[in-house]
Structures are given as C-alpha cells and as structure tokens.
Amino acid sequence: MNVSEILTTFPEYAKDIKLNYSKVLNENILDKQQLYSIILISCLATKDEVLKEAALKEVKEHIDPVVMEDVYGAYSIMSMNAIYYRFTHLATEHNYSSMPANLRMQYLSKHKMNKPDFELLCLAVAVIIGCGKCINAHEIVLRENNISTQVIQTAARVASIINAIANIMKVIK
C-alpha cells in the first residue's frame, strides 16, 4: 500500500486529513520532486515504519537516487539538530545557545540538490519535531533564497498532514 491507498482505509472522522492530502498532491505549489521528497522526509520524521514503506512506494517514480540520498541526509542531520536546538531554546537555567554545539553537521553543506529544496526538507522535519529555532533558521534561509511564503507554508502543511496521517494510523491499528 502507498500513502494514498492507506488513506482509503481511514474512517469518516479523518475525512479532512484525506482531503487535505489529496489537495496538496494536486495544487501544484511545489514541483513534484519537492512535494514527494517532503512527503518522504515527513513520513521518516513520524517514525512510523508502515507509513515510511507506504511513502517509499508512493514517491519512487518522482524521486531519483541522488534526491533520495539527500532526503536521508537531511533526515539524518535534522533528527539530531532539531532535538538539540529545541533543547537550547527550551532550557531556561543557562544560555546554552551561546555555547558551541560541538555537533558535526557537514551534510548541511554537502548535499547535491539545490539549497532551497534541501532547506524545505529540513523545515519539514523541524515542523514535525517542533523545534522553533530550527523552523526559524530554515525559514530565514528559504526567504533569503527568494522562496515564496506560499511554498514555505505548503512544506509545513505537507509535514502537518503527514504527521496527522501517522497519528490516525496509531488510533485505528
């Protein structure tokens, strides 16, 4: 089953989620590579194995191996960074933000896809993990690269919809 097929099994109370997913697939705000790479990285960020496998089936014809590598690279680095930087802005006793992170993050500059597309992937993970510091940092870079607020918002919407799909799957299991 791919993601779209999983949605056909959802109960009526999840109709909004089904319709929202269908809408982002058809609205053409993101190009196909952006859309499907954000879908995949968002499924990875939910940590749901069934959803990850469904996403791999859904995105296979839209993402080439180089982009796939960058999706995994972005997920790898952001699954560390979003947790660490969320800690730095939530901890109130000390100013951890002023301390060096001492975390290797070379993939942030090593990826092969264009910078804005990679930043959209990082933003999607930050949205799901809930790191305000990361969300702001990636959103600033996207705006500096002339990415429209509509594209940025759409990446966040896709991440939010995928997160809801994962949560509904936990309820109906």
Catalytic residues: 131, 134
Which helix H or strand E contains 24, and what residues bound it? helix 15-26
Distance CA(130)–CA(80), nearest Å, equals 13
Cα Rg of the chain, angstroms = 16
Q: Say if residues 159 and 128 touch (Cβ distance below 8 Å).
A: yes
What sign has the CA pseudo-torsion 142, 28, 70, 6? positive
CB-based burial, 140-173: b 16+ in 10 Å, e otherwise? ebbeeeebeeebbebbbbbbbbbbbbbebbeeee
Q: Say if residues 129 and 82 touch (Cβ distance below 8 Å).
A: yes
Q: How crowded is residue 53: how many other Cβ atoms within 10 Å of its Cβ?
A: 14
Distance CA(98)–CA(30), nearest Å, equals 36
